[in-house]
Structure 1
Amino acid sequence: MAKFVVAGKANCPHYAKTELVADFLGKNVPDFQVHKIVQAPEDWQKWLQELCKKNGWVHENSPIIWRELVDRGGKGLLLGGYNDFMEYVQGYYGFTSDMMTTLMLKIARENFMSHENEREDETFYKNLTKPMAIWVSGALSTACANLIPTLVNGEVFGQAKEVSLHLLQNDAPLGVLEGFQCQIEDMALPLLRKVTVQNTLRKAFMDAEVIIVLDDFVPVKDQSIEDCYKEMVSFYQKLAIMIDTFAKSNARVIVAGDYILNLKTYLLMQNAYSIDHCNFIAVPTQLEGEVKALLAQRLNVNAQDVKDVIIWGNIVRSIYIDLHKARVSQFESAIWGPPEFSRPVLEMLQDKSWTEERMMEEVRSHRPKIQAAVKRELGLSRAAAIRKILHWWYFDSPPGELVSLGVISNGEFDIPSDIIFSMPVRFCGGKWVIQTQLEISEETKNKLKYIAQELKLEQRLNFNPVEGSDLESSSDQDLQLEKESNKKRSVFF
């Protein structure tokens, strides 16, 4: 019994005709068997060269046909290409094909589409067998509890990606973490492959692809800010070492919380040497959403109708809220347009003094008021902010929409290099891109310089070395700035 092997490119019309002839003979000729091998066009040449090298054959085009003696084994016997096979079946079986070229081309296109669909299905199931490792540090925070369902239900990474979830809360009672683990497992989510918990940094972030850091440090009773900073610096340096040691080299690290986000992100970035600096980001999206909500109340629209509010600077501390590019849609006025029609926010605000005088105080007091009312941290809005940024990081932000993000500065907008600074970006192709084409005024640049110097002072207060040439003011001016920074945290407009 002889078995014929027919191999070719998925989009090859000669392979399509050879395949149909071989199928016909397989159904109508006793002891005639055929095995087919289809290769993608981009993979064909390499595959063919390896096959010919292995068997000592010389062949260049698609298709290639050879015989295998099924009962005896051993090396196959090369028959040749399309013409060789057609001559063979005509001579041995008296069979000829009158298939027209147009039909051959049509079948070749259908073969190619079917092959691509099969490859997509294969990729889909392969992805399911390799779950994405997601680590959350600060797992007992309210934000984590609100974030987990969206991480494992396909909402962030897509319906084709299974995840393994690893929860870390340093020095937390293990029983509490295990109880949290049981709650997650009880959700029985189809994309959740595994859940683990741990309360030490030993082997933390093993094979991590996504790392979400939610650990916050606030001064406890009778503790100075400097002592709190020392504790935070030590902890985040240890986190960074674990990330550098065990996480994948392309891991993406996202930092969120209520306090000194820029410095935390900077510490992780500086001490995790093996990971690209662009893979560390701080999230001002929660604050951005709060500003949009306040503007929406003033404009009598939904918060989602306010776009392109830019948060510059040192997240949660000294920031500049830039409304010059902000736009609002669905605003009731004499001018109406299609759903995508929008107008400048500053032009629609009737009370201009509000943005200059009272808005600053409302932004400062907004989060503390809600925290006092609910008597816990604002986990829901923080989780929504993280979910949104993560999804955009993998699947791009909405076209034309500006996103505020704390990222490493390389001198854009005259901001000093090597500091984490919140600025406008867009997500595209799995990366964030700073929108350097935006024009800003000299007044704005001066405000950004002030914030940049505060960030440099933060590094000094946390015993990170800063070269004197990096500071744009004298030591006396730095001292004065330090005193002012300790008195209050500024919000500019």
Structure 2
Amino acid sequence: MHEVNRNIGLILVVRMARVDSSVRKVSERYQQYGRLIDERAHKNVVVIVAGNSLVNLKCSLLLENAPSVDSGRFVGMATQLEYEARAHIAQKLSVKTADVTDVIVWGNISGSSHVDLQRAKVFQYEGAIWGPSDFSQPVLKMIYDMKWLQTDFLNLVSSQRATVASKSQRATAISATNGIIAVLKAWNCNSSAEEVLSLGILSTGQYNLPAGVVFSMPVSFQDGRWSVLSDVIISDEMRAKLQIAADQLREEKDLASRTRKDTA
């Protein structure tokens, strides 16, 4: 990070720690990184944060300490959760993971989150209706086992968080890399404007979420810019889950703020 200069257009902050770093250490380190970005990086730099520990908080600390860079240039990756959700759905439907798209991850990427399938699509599914390779069908209409969706599926995705840290760093790094490539393709206008990606971005109050926290939510890219999807349905049950994630993220930010005051 100390080698940041104004000729760099992309900064990847990827840390696959086996054990969660303390908030104090993360706060100190990422404040410093943010100041370096502010002082030395090109103002159109893209900063992507990935990992399995405090991803939202790290992204928040970076953008807060780099005020000269547009906050929209900082994003956190929800790659591992999204990939695992797609993989479990693909297994259930006997298709490839790549054939499942538009799974949404809301909330705290490395904490309390919610996997949302309302826009998820499946390609190459051999059901009652069959079409060409670009023909897709809604996942929620193809999986008739609602009990599995509401229990086993969510438990499988949740348990994955506990096992990610025990995986080899190589495996988790590959997953992060694939996600980063997908985001960069979208950012550089090399993907469909209809594609849905989940990114940790600075909330400005979308969907009545608290402003000022980095929150994973669904976005699409067009002309090199992302925008938050505006037509996602938020049920009362889902609202409660998002509120839990928001409260957790605010607690992380408050703890980071207190540790800074203690060391001042």
Partner of 2:137 in structure 1? 343
Question: How many percent identity over aligned positions?
Answer: 37
Partner of 1:79 in structure 2? none
Partner of 1:411 in structure 2? 205
- Retained in 2: the 8 A contact 1:413–1:445? no
- List structure 1 segments (4+ residues) > 6 angstroms apart after TM superposition: none
Structure 1 residue 214 corresponds to structure 2 residue 14 = yes
* Deviation of the 1:219 alpha carbon: 4.9
* Gapped regions of structure 2 (runs ≥ 5): 260-264
Partner of 2:235 in structure 1? 441
* Deviation of the 1:255 alpha carbon: 0.4
Cα distance in 1 for partners of 2:257, 2:17 equals: 17
* Deviation of the 1:401 alpha carbon: 2.0
SS in 2 for 1:427: strand
* Deviation of the 1:344 alpha carbon: 1.8
The TM-score normalised by the length of structure 1 is: 0.49
Give the partner amino acid of 1:268.
Answer: L
Cα distance in 2 for partners of 1:256, 1:448 equals: 21
Distance 1:378 1:460, change over 3 A: same
Cα distance in 2 for partners of 1:297, 1:318 equals: 24
Cα distance in 1 for partners of 2:83, 2:28 equals: 31
Cα distance in 1 for partners of 2:236, 2:75 equals: 27
Structure 1 range deviating more: 256-265 or 333-342:
333-342
Higher relative contact order (CA 8 A, sep 6+): 2
Give the partner amino acid of 1:209.
Answer: G
- Retained in 1: the 8 A contact 2:16–2:169? no
Structure 1 residue 269 corresponds to structure 2 residue 63 = yes
Partner of 1:257 in structure 2? 51
Q: How many residues align?
A: 258
- Retained in 2: the 8 A contact 1:309–1:321? yes
Q: Which structure has the larger Rg?
A: 1
Partner of 1:426 in structure 2? 220
Partner of 1:488 in structure 2? none
Distance 1:261 1:307, change over 3 A: same
Partner of 2:262 in structure 1? none
- Retained in 2: the 8 A contact 1:414–1:445? no
Cα distance in 2 for partners of 1:427, 1:246 equals: 27
Distance 1:373 1:425, change over 3 A: closer
CA displacement, residues 33-76 of structure 1 (integer Å, 9 cap, x when unaligned): xxxxxxxxxxxxxxxxxxxxxxxxxxxxxxxxxxxxxxxxxxxx
Where does 1:133-148 land on structure 2 (aligned, <5 Å)? Answer: none
Where does 1:288-307 land on structure 2 (aligned, <5 Å)? Answer: 288-307=82-101
CA displacement, residues 153-196 of structure 1 (integer Å, 9 cap, x when unaligned): xxxxxxxxxxxxxxx5xxxxxxxxxxxxxxxxxxxxxxxxxxxx
Distance 1:417 1:323, change over 3 A: same
The TM-score normalised by the length of structure 2 is: 0.90
Distance 1:278 1:399, change over 3 A: closer
Structure 1 residue 352 corresponds to structure 2 residue 166 = no
**Of 199, 202, 205, the match for 2:4:** 205
SS in 2 for 1:301: coil
Cα distance in 1 for partners of 2:160, 2:254 equals: 30
Partner of 1:322 in structure 2? 116
Give the partner amino acid of 1:424.
Answer: P
* Gapped regions of structure 1 (runs ≥ 5): 1-167, 169-200, 466-493
SS in 2 for 1:455: helix
Distance 1:376 1:383, change over 3 A: closer
SS in 2 for 1:395: coil
Partner of 1:51 in structure 2? none
- Retained in 1: the 8 A contact 2:60–2:213? yes
* Deviation of the 1:367 alpha carbon: 6.2
